[in-house]
Amino acid sequence: MVLATRNRAVPLRHTLLSLSRQSRLPDSVVIVDASDDGSSELAVEALRPTLSYPLVFAKAPEPSAARQRNRGTVLLQTDVVVFLDDDVDLDREFLRELVTVLERDLEEGIGGVSGTIANQTYTAPRRLNRALLGLCIGDLSGKYPGRLIGPAVNFLPEDAHDTVRDVEWLPSCCAAYRRSIFLDHGFCEDFEGYSFAEDVHLSSRIHRTHRLVNTTRARLHHGDLGGSTHRDWRGLGESMVVNRHYIMTSVLGRTKWRYQLSLFTFEIIYGSLTFAAASRDWRTTFRLTGLLRGRLSGFWKVWTGKSRHMVKSSKHHEAA
């Protein structure tokens, strides 16, 4: 099991205690820490004697959820690698139910499985919201749960009772992969810092050759602290556009201008409206302004070939 963390000692501690209460304990837990305040390491070392599973603590040279998770996987020797965020609270049967899906798949057609985030499940859009969303992503069918649609827009799966269903992507806050398959792909290390949608990029590549499934039998609560601790809203907005565009074109092969237009309307119009509607405090205007500036900057970079993904790809081809 791999956890990437940065400057969140308190939720990390709760997550490690949650793991200790599992009916099936992890074989090993690797924490890859990019903190700059030392608090996470102190919390882990204080807690280590009370934990009922082996724990490895490794420092990361720079903050990148994608790179931290890759490094953690190298330190594991298990056949299945489980990724968790550092702010989750697991039901007691979570790990058993998650890993059992892969263990029962003797033909190994399933490449990865995700648990169900009980407090963040799919909610069907209604009326005007549904119509606007459908226009922005180019799909008016409304059959969105668990899918990766149009300009690489991903939707959480439905929380249907006691089911294991096929999906098109997996969230890295609660996913398990066969280690051999993961090592063939790995998280893209171009996804820096917050690493927006690095889980979509990984799982959608694996989905080209293997099934992905979600199980509602493995349940957890996700603290989702990113929104409350995030500071660089302009950078986040830019990464939303740049990274989603990269997935849309390089993985899904959706390069036509209608997809470019869909991405623009989804990020600028739909994204802004839903963010404003969901926010209730005085910081909304500040955050939305930062997101908009970042998104416009992201479109400028991808349309002028100056995004980091395009620049690195160009350098790679030149070197070859």
Can you give the residue ranges of every domain in the chain?
Answer: 2-121+156-227, 230-319
- pLDDT tens by residue, 4-52: 999 999 999 999 999 999 999 999 999 999 998 889 999 999 999 999 9
Give CA–CA dist 115/122, Å, rounded: 13
Percentage with pLDDT > 90 across the chain = 76
For the entire predicted model, the pTM comes to 0.91
- pLDDT tens by residue, 159-197: 988 899 999 999 999 999 999 999 999 999 888 766 799
**Contact at 8 Å (CB) between 180 and 111?**
no
pLDDT tops 90 at residue 275: no
* CA trace torsion 213, 217, 218, 223 (10° rounding): 100
Using the structure block, give the residue that is written with the tokens 């030392």.
38
Per-residue pLDDT, 257 = 93
Tell me the C-alpha to C-alpha distance, in Å, between residue 141 and each of 127, 137, 246, 248.
Answer: 13, 11, 25, 20
Give CA–CA dist 304/171, Å, rounded: 30
CATH architecture of 2-121+156-227: Alpha-Beta Complex (3.90)
Of residues 305 and 194, more confidently modeled: 305
